[in-house]
Structure 1
Amino acid sequence: IGAIKDLIAAYKDENNNNILHLAANLAPLSRLQIVSGAALQMQRELLWFKGVEKIVPPSYIKMKNSDNQTPKDLFTEKHKELLKEGEKWMKSTATSCMLVATLIATVVFAAIFTLPGGPNNDTGVPLFLGKRWFLIFVISDAVALFSSSASIVTFLSILTSRYAENDFLVSLPARLLFGLSALFVSIATMVIAYAAAISMIYDHKHVRIPIVIVLLACVPVTLFAWQHFHLWADTIRSTYWSRFLFQPKHRLYH
């Protein structure tokens, strides 16, 4: 097997394209669609190219073919459109998610100043201060505010990125993963805060009402998780697992 690897790694065709030149070509659509989104497809292409780069002789990395192109030049040319599509997809996703995160931050920020039950007219202390649900409400609201704020900042950093080729390798997907995770936490904790507020108001009076509302509150969280699970899972696989998918155990040339 080692001899075959050496032979393949040292391969050159009639146009003086080595194996790294061949790896620089755009993958077929059927292979690109293994992962969702043009940005993750660009990341997969970069991982494949850099994986092949590790097994070829060092001289092959800068070798030019008959068109006077190095493998890197060829990769840039062949992936020009995918790079543009990846930038467009990433910006569109970040914009949509940032809008949702901004709405959540606005709601939970206002909620902390309009506490359920209001304050005591004489002391100004919240009426439900000693209740367990009040503590749950405050903590959940605070977590929702902080996580949505973190999500906003993360998606903003995606929008202002320079979108160079190497940014699609780790930087942009990692930011997207963190932003989606923070957004999910903010949605979940916002719903928990709402359920806690309802439970405080109807505590011991109408037991069924809080239960029904809590069950209904789980619907948007479940929908968000279900609709974005594939994107979240693809991002994790592409960013952290696929980095080792194309990584050889031993370099053939030193």
Structure 2
Amino acid sequence: MPSEMFWFKRIRQISPRQIYHLENAKSQTPQELFDKTHYDLLQKSEKWVKENAGVYMVISTLIASLMFTAAFTVPGGFNSDTGLPVLIHNKYLLPYFRLVSLSLFFSLATLATSLYTHCIHFQQEDFYFSLPLKIFLSSSNLFCCVISTVLAYGNARRLQPLPVTNIYVHYVFEAIRFFALLLALLVYVDVILPVCRFLKKLLFHSLSSHN
């Protein structure tokens, strides 16, 4: 739908102003004809955006719940004598809490943008710039959230190594973490690439029209 609106607006811009309000044989202006022929596409686009926002909300809510618990749970517990964390001198403790905080922040940002996208009253003009930008922000926030979560998991394993005698098990965990990052990257690129192309095209067109 955004691409269709882009080309319609571009053709409208380069067309003589006096013909824009002319009607065809069915007494339809160009805008009315566009609205009628793209009504089904508008409904499908609205359904896709709402379903996408719903999935983002579910994932971000789950991650936010886990990260909120992790933010108030100190790995290794506290020293009964000093009251300080047992692993306070471990170099991975501070990066762990930073990654947990980042993941919590990005998950809440994803939840907020997705909830706003899901609840707005969709208008045709929203698909031209507003909704693509919201999808870009939601997808980027969710991607950063997943990456921070996976990296926090890696730091947690360094803080409290599993008592595994077989070294190959450690390599299995590292491979799982690597493929999780790779899968998140591939999904992000698949979702965000068309949106980035459209926003780039829209930006170049806006700059060229001003020049």
TM-score (structure 1 length as normaliser): 0.75
d(CA) in 2 for partners of 1:57, 1:231: 37
* Residue 45 (structure 1) aligns with: 4
**1:233: which partner in 2?**
193
In structure 2, C-alpha distance between the alignment counterparts of 1:249 and 1:151, rounded to whole Å: 33
Letter in 2 for 1:113: F
5 Å-filtered alignment, 1:78-117, equals: 78-117=37-76
> 2:56 corresponds to which letter in structure 1?
C
Is 1:218 aligned with 2:178?
Answer: yes
1:54 Cα deviation from its structure 2 partner: 0.9
Report deviation, 1:199.
Answer: 0.2
Per the alignment, residue 39 of structure 1 pairs with: none
Cα offset, 1:218, TM superposition: 2.2
Aligned length: 208
Q: Does 1:119 align with 2:88?
A: no
Q: Which amino acid aligns with 1:140?
A: L
Equivalents in 2 of 1:123, 1:211: separation in Å? 36
Summarize the Cα distance change of 1:212–1:199 in structure 2 as closer, same or farther, 3 Å threshold.
farther
Distance in 1, matches of 2:37 and 2:203, equals: 24
Which is helix-richer, 1 or 2? Answer: 2
Q: How does 1:30-179 map to 2 (within 5 A)?
A: 42-179=1-138
Stretch moving more, 122-131 or 67-76? 122-131
Greater gyration radius: 1
8 A Cα contact 1:48 1:246, kept in partner: no
Give the alignment of 1:200-219 within 5 angstroms: 200-202=159-161, 208=167, 212-219=172-179
User: Does the CA contact (< 8 Å) of 2:147 and 2:184 recur in 1?
Assistant: no
Determine if contact 2:143/2:188 at 8 Å carries over to the other structure. Answer: no
Counterpart CA distance in 1 for 2:156 and 2:190 is 32
Q: How many angstroms apart in 2 are the aligned matches of 1:108 and 1:142? A: 7
TM-score (norm: length of structure 2): 0.90
SS at 1:117's partner residue? coil
Q: Give how far 1:189 is off.
A: 0.6
1:249 to 1:115, Cα distance in 2 relative to 1, 3 A: closer
Q: What is the alpha-carbon root mean square deviation over aligned residues?
A: 2.3
**Distance in 1, Cα, partners of 2:165 & 2:158:** 9
Structure 1, unaligned stretches of length 5 or more? 1-41
User: Residue deviations 1:65-91, cap 9 Å, x none?
Assistant: 222211111111111100000000011
Change (3 A) 1:52 1:105: same
**How far 1:113 moved relative to its partner?**
1.6
User: How far, CA to CA, are the matches of 2:77 and 2:207 in structure 1?
Assistant: 63
